[in-house]
Amino acid sequence: MDKRPFYCYLDNFDELTIIIPIKNYQDNLNYFLVGNDEIIKLKITQKINLGVEIKLLANFDAYIDLGKVYFVENTKKDMSELYTGKIVRTELFDNIYSYKKHDLGFTYAKEGTKFKIWSPVAKYVKLELVDKENRKEFYNLEYKISGVWRAFIEGDLDGYKYRYLVYVNGKEQVVQDPYGKASNANGEYNYIIDFSKTYNITHMPDFSGNPLDAIIYETSVRDFTSDATIDFLNKKRYLGLTEENIKTKNGLSAGLDYLKELGITHLQLMPIFDFEGIDELDPDSQYNWGYNPSQYFVPEGSYSTNANDPYARINELKMMVDKLHENNISVVMDVVYNHVYDSFNFSMEKLVPGYSYHVDRNGINTNVSGCNNDLATHRKMLRKLIIDASLFWATEYKIDGFRFDLMGLIDFETMNELAQELHDVNPKIICYGEGWNMYSSNLADRMAHMGSKKVIPTIGFFNDKFRETIKGSTFNPKEPGYATGNLSDINVVKEVVLGSAHNRYMFKYSAQSVNYVECHDNMTFYDKGLYMSDDTALIKKQQLLATAMVILSQGVPFLHSGQEFFRTKDLDENSYISGDEINKLDWTLREENANSVDFIKKLIKIRKDFNCFKLKSSSDLEAKTEVVSLASGSLMIHYNDTCNLLIIFKPIASFETIIIPEEYSLLLGQEKVESNDTSEYSLKDIGVYLFKKGDEQ
C-alpha cells in the first residue's frame, strides 16, 4: 500500500504536480526537487483544493534527466519519489525521444545477440536471459539516446528465453519485449529465434494488386476446421488450412479444396497474432475470436500444435500461408491496432506509463473502443510499433493484405504512412478497415474514418450503407432491406451497387467500397431472416440475392465464411466467446445447400471474367453504366462497354415481364425463367438474372 506523505508527477520538462492528502497539508512549507546532485526550489504557481487532497502546481528552472531518480522534498523533510506524469504526452517528449531505426527487439547472429528496448523514463533495465537448461542470468542494459536501452550478449543464443526487469515509477516490473517475435505459451517469455532456420515461404499468389480484382472471404483459423463431422487431422490449427482431399460425409469438397473451388482470391483470417482470452496450454477449455491483442509480432499459440515451441508456432503459420499461396489464395491478416486487451500489463504502458492511450481531461483512459482503452496511434512510438509490426508480417510471413479493426480509431497519418510502407514492400498488398466515425470530439478530424476518405485514397472501407440498405438494419433485426423486401430506399440501392462512387456519392473511387451484408460481427444474414420470417425457403432466396449483389456490384466484394450456404449461429448476435458449437463452420450446411454454393461459384467466375464489374472512377461509372428501377421494384443495370451485360436484381416474388433486346440471351438466373420468344422473359420469383449480348442461353 502506498503510504507516501504526498504524491508528485512530472507533467512537463519544467512543471510538476504535487498531490497532498489534506491531513498532511501545511500552508507554509517549501518544496524542492532533489536528484542528479542538485537541489532545486520549486515555485508553486497554483493551489487547488480537491476536498480530500490539495493539488499544487509547480514550476522549476533546471534540466531534468528522465533516466535519473528524483524526489520532491519539503522543509519538514517529507520526501516522495517523482513519478512520470503528463510529460509523456507532450509534443516535446515525442520529438526528443522518438527512435527511427528498425532494430528494436532482438537482432540475432551466431556470434551474439543485440537487445534494444525503448523506455525514456526507466531508471534501469535488466535483461533476464534463460538458457536451454533453464539457467538464468541477468544483464544490465546501457542507456544511449532516444529513449533506447541496449545490450550485446556474446554467444549463440538461439532458443534462449528472455524478458526484462524495468524500474519505472517507483517499482521494478517484469516486462515482455513489445517487439518480441516469438513466445512460449501464454506469453510468459519471449524467445530468441534464428529466422533463417524457419520455414521458407516459396509461393506467391498471382494477384494483380487492384483491389477490384479481389474477392475476400473471411474466416477464423479455429472455426474453419472445428466441425466434428469432418476429418481434419489438425482441427482448429494453422495446419488444418493446409489439408487437401478433405470431404464432407457425402463426398463434397471441404477445407482448402472447397476454397479453391469457390474461387475466392483472398482469405481474411480473424486475428492470428498472439491474443488473450485463451489458455494456450488448454485451448479447448475456452473460446475467443482473438480481438484481445497481447503480442503484436508473435503468432497465436492456440492455433499451433505446440504453443510452448516458438519454432512450431512460426513454422506452422508459415506453412499455412505458403499452402494458400500455392493454391493462388492471398492471405489477409485482421489486425487490432485500436486497443489492447490488458491496458495495465501492455508492455508499452509498463515501459512508459501514460504514453500509450488517449485520455480525457481528467487523465482517465477513454473508452471509445469499448475495451477500456484506445491506443494513441498518433504518438510517434505507437505509430512506429504499428508500422514495424505490419511490415514484419508482410516481409517475414508474406502477408498479402491487412484488415484494420475499428480503423476509425487510428489516425489517418499513421494509416497513410503504413500503406505507403507496405506498398513499398509489396505493391500488391491491399489495405481496408472499419471506417466508423466513433469520436464526437475534435479527435475525429484526424481519424481514418469514412469522413476522411479524401485524404486516405488507397485504403478501403467496410460500406455499412451497402449492408444496411441491402440486408436491412443490423441493430433492429426485424427491419428489412432491399433484398428482404423493403423497396423504399431504391435510390440508395442504385448508388451502392455502383460502388458508392457514382458522382462521388460516398467515395472518390469504387475501390474504397468494401461491399458486404455479413461478417463475423452481429447476426448472420440467415439468422436476421429468421426474425422477419419463418419461411426458410424465402430467406434463402433473399440471401442468395443479397450475396449476388455483393459479388456483382462495383467495389470490393466481401463474403463471410458460410454465407454462401446460409450459416447460422443460432441467433447469437455476438458470439465472440460462445464456443465451437455456435461458431464452427458447419460443413453439413455445405452439403444441404450444394446448389446454392454452385450458384455462388458461377457468380464469382462471372465477376472474374468480366471487367465491367471493376470500374474505378466516377467518370467511368457515369459513362459505362445505366441503372434503372422498374415499377415492380426490380433493378436493372446495363453495362454498355465491351462486356455488354445486363443484370436484373428482383427482390419481390411477383410476376413481371421483362423485354430484353433480341441480341441478349440469358447467361445465368437464380430462379427459373420462362421466355415466349427471344426477347420477352417472365420473371416470377426473387432472384438475380444476367443477360449477355451475343451469347447462347
User: pLDDT tens digit string along 578-620?
Assistant: 999 999 999 999 999 999 999 999 999 999 999 999 999 999 9
- Residue 643: predicted pLDDT: 86
Outline where DSSP puts E strands in 383-493. Answer: 401-404, 430-433, 460-462
Q: Which residue has 523514463 as its cell numbers?
A: 121
**Cα 341 vs. chain centroid, distance in angstroms?**
14
Q: What is the pLDDT of residues 163-206, one digit of tens each?
A: 999 999 999 999 999 999 999 999 999 999 999 999 999 999 99
Record the cell numbers describing residue 614, joined without a space. Answer: 471493376
- Residue 695: predicted pLDDT: 54
Q: Do 547 and 564 contact (CB within 8 A), yes or no?
A: yes
Beta bridge partners of 683: 656
Average pLDDT, stretch 297-304? 98
Looking from the CA of 64 toward its CB, the CA atoms found within 13 Å total: 28
Task: Let me know if 405 is a catalytic residue.
Answer: yes
List the catalytic residue out of 316, 434, 468, 620. 434
- Nearest 5°: phi and psi at 343? -65, -25
Outline where DSSP puts E strands in 513-616. Answer: 513-515, 556-560
Q: Do 98 and 146 contact (CB within 8 A), yes or no?
A: yes
SS (H, E, C) 149-179: EEEEEECCCCCCEEEEEEEECCEEEEECCCC
List the catalytic residue out of 388, 405, 518, 527. 405
Record the cell numbers describing residue 34, joined without a space. Answer: 532533489
Ramachandran class of 500: left when φ > 0, alpha when ψ lies in -120 to 50, beta otherwise = left
Give the domains, in start order, of the chain with CATH numbers. Answer: 7-84 (2.60.40.2320), 94-175 (2.60.40.10), 624-693 (2.60.40.1180)
Task: Let me know if 434 is a catalytic residue.
Answer: yes
The percent of residues in the chain predicted with pLDDT above 70, rounded, is 99
Average pLDDT, stretch 372-401? 98
Higher pLDDT, 362 or 159: 159
Q: What is the pLDDT of residues 163-172, one digit of tens each?
A: 999 999 999 9
> Quick one: 685 exposed, middle or buried, by C-beta within 10 A (0-12, 13-18, 19+)?
middle
Q: What is the pLDDT of residues 328-357, one digit of tens each?
A: 999 999 999 999 999 999 999 999 999 999
- The pLDDT confidence band at residue 696, using thresholds 50, 70 and 90, is very low
> Quick one: 114 exposed, middle or buried, by C-beta within 10 A (0-12, 13-18, 19+)?
middle
Beta bridge partners of 668: 690
- Residue 440: predicted pLDDT: 67
Distances (CA, A) of 230 to 458, 563, 686: 40, 19, 33
Average pLDDT, stretch 44-70? 95
- The pLDDT confidence band at residue 9, using thresholds 50, 70 and 90, is very high
Q: What is the pLDDT of residues 94-123, one digit of tens each?
A: 999 999 999 999 999 999 999 999 999 999
pTM: 0.96
- Supply the mean pLDDT for the chain: 96
- CA nearest to 8, candidates 75, 71, 51: 71
